[in-house]
Structure 1
Amino acid sequence: MSTHYTWKKLGSAKWEDAWVERLREVSDRLAITALARAKTIRLEAFQLTKAQAARLKKAFGGTVSAQKKQRAVSEAVTAPIRVRNRLIVVGSEGARTAETKAADGRAVLLIPAGMAFGTGDHATTATCLRFLADVSEELAGQPWEILDLGSGSGILALAARLLGARRAEAGDFDPHAVRTAKENARLNAIQGVVIKKLDVREWQPQRTWGVVAANLFSDLLMEVAPKIAASVAPGGRLVFSGILRKQEAEVVAAFRRAGLRIDRLVRKGKWVSGLATRILSGKTR
């Protein structure tokens, strides 16, 4: 038998989309219930560790309860995430061993499920990985580096190294995410990655990168769009995500004003991800 924890909280229905963003670290274990005849929703995150539940309670309030379940039932199995024909993301050592034996040259990246957002199965992260794979194909044979803003588990920075980036820098505001990303780099024996605590609101880019990834909240993307654009080298690429559909137009407009050309947008469920290029002429489309 093993013990899992459930976190619960009541919230305002009008902030449902905001809660979806705030709790996307546990999106695969999150239930949101609209209460009848009320402008209230019930938020519940299931199958958490004690530390995860305590962290949610500290950050957002609410209550925590414990449940004992059979390990075989309570432990979810995450299928490998296959990114083009270039990369396989797995969630366990056993899966890594199996996929490494059968990968036919594809890189295998281990990202254990945890509180730091980004295991590859969320729509935003999965789309960013595919964009990175495409960009790395375009840059094949050229030296390139990546900056990963809002790095969470470090998955995009680590994937970029496996896809050919000669160096990666990653930053996240959450110290827990920074620790987790460093551990993931160690688990995968990936060198050439600098991971640090970073507040994008206070950050000022001191250089440019050929590729920048920004998987952040919609409001934050709009607020710091000029700084993000300034960190992309002329002709360089920006992979961006974390955008709710209803805010797509605003985010796209902010990036265009900042001098980026929007090349592709991918919509999955409530979420939108995009690929952009820093233009040279000042013309956007």
Structure 2
Amino acid sequence: MDFVEVRVLAPRELADILVAELAEVGYDTFEDHDEGFCAYIGEGDFNPDAVAEVMARYSGIGTLDYSHRIITRQNWNAEWEKNFQPLIIADRVSVRAPFHPKPEPIEYDIVIMPRMSFGTGHHETTALMIENQLGVDHAGKRVLDMGCGTGILAIMAAQLGAREVLAVDVEPWTVENAADNAAENHCANIECRLGGVEVLAGEAPFDLILANINRNVLLEDMYAYAALLPTGAPILFSGFYQEDLALIEEEAKKHKLAFQSHLTKNNWVSAVFTKVA
């Protein structure tokens, strides 16, 4: 299955609202650009009328325009290779493609080829998750990466000393991509698994959970994550806006997840919670 990209031109204050609206009708991946943002959905789930209805509700509020296109695997690869630049996160982590040289000196070096998957570290949520990971003890831990995308967070966990990492995603090509990236980074302790929370049935507890997905999925599946965490273990959330943090906190409390801290960038959030007794 290919993706449909909806490219939206809108001022920042309106773009935030539109992202929330599109998330409600099934869009689960967003990337900002200088004039607005792009939203992505599987081609089979694309409904142009639903997009038009959302946009019509906000017509006349600032400059608003949108268009869409189908992105095939081949086109996605070409587009990414043309535009991708190496990235340094928190002055400690390099994220680059195989065709970029390794920067020196750097503490952690992650090589990513995303294919049709999302998560190169350039989006705020991925970079914020990595920054939060740097402050969490991974040594000898069993880690779950939900919504793994390219596998970048799982790879970061392995490089930080995780004993074992389970990377899960609902898209087959994403799981394949994550597995390839794990191999590229010599992370033999990463298992990539296709599915959602249902594939976690019967799993032993995890010492750390990473969940960079979106607000709706986090709210819906938080019970499952919490059930797999022992008391005192951390869970890192991202994929939502600053104004959604209160909703995440409210749901987390129901499952004995206590808020610890959060980072923000361009209104995106990554938050750290801990399982309490």
Query: With structure 1 as the length reference, what TM-score do the two structures score?
Result: 0.73
Any idea what the Cα deviations from partners look like across 1:124-146, whole Å, max 9, x if unmatched? 1111101111103xx5xx52121
Aligned mate of 2:217, from 216, 220, 226? 220
Residues paired across the two proteins, number: 245
Q: Retained in 2: the 8 A contact 1:31–1:43? A: no
Distance 2:220 2:271 in 1: 17
Any idea what the Cα deviations from partners look like across 1:165-200, whole Å, max 9, x if unmatched? 111111001111101101111222221110010212
* Inter-CA distance 18–170: structure 2 relative to 1 (3 Å threshold): farther
- After superposition, residues 98-137 of structure 1 pair within 5 angstroms as 98-99=102-103, 102-103=104-105, 106-136=107-137
Higher deviation after alignment, 15-24 or 252-261: 15-24
Q: Where do 5+ consecutive residues of structure 1 fail to align? A: 1-5, 55-70, 281-285
Distance 1:146 1:77 in 2: 28
Distance 2:33 2:74 in 1: 14
**Displacement of 1:225:** 1.3
Equivalent residue, structure 2, for 1:24:
29
Equivalent residue, structure 2, for 1:159:
156
Equivalent residue, structure 1, for 2:166:
169
Q: Retained in 2: the 8 A contact 1:215–1:242? A: yes
Distance 1:241 1:216 in 2: 6
Aligned partner of residue 250 in structure 1, secondary structure: helix
Larger radius of gyration: 1
Aligned partner of residue 78 in structure 1, secondary structure: coil
Higher deviation after alignment, 257-266 or 240-249: 240-249
Any idea what the Cα deviations from partners look like across 1:55-93, whole Å, max 9, x if unmatched? xxxxxxxxxxxxxxxx9xx922413223453x3221x22
1:51 counterpart = 2:58: no
* Inter-CA distance 25–196: structure 2 relative to 1 (3 Å threshold): farther
1:178 counterpart = 2:175: yes
**Displacement of 1:264:** 0.6
Q: Retained in 2: the 8 A contact 1:26–1:115? A: no
Higher deviation after alignment, 204-213 or 254-263: 204-213
**Displacement of 1:270:** 3.4
Any idea what the Cα deviations from partners look like across 1:237-262, whole Å, max 9, x if unmatched? 10110112332211111011110111
Identity %: 22
Aligned mate of 2:260, from 258, 263, 266? 263
Q: Which AA in structure 1 matches 2:231?
A: P
Any idea what the Cα deviations from partners look like across 1:104-135, whole Å, max 9, x if unmatched? 5x221101244311111111111110111110
Q: Retained in 2: the 8 A contact 1:25–1:118? A: no
Distance 2:167 2:190 in 1: 7
Q: Where do 5+ consecutive residues of structure 2 fail to align? A: 9-14, 40-51
1:78 counterpart = 2:85: yes
1:206 counterpart = 2:230: no
- Aligned-residue Cα RMSD (Å) equals 3.5
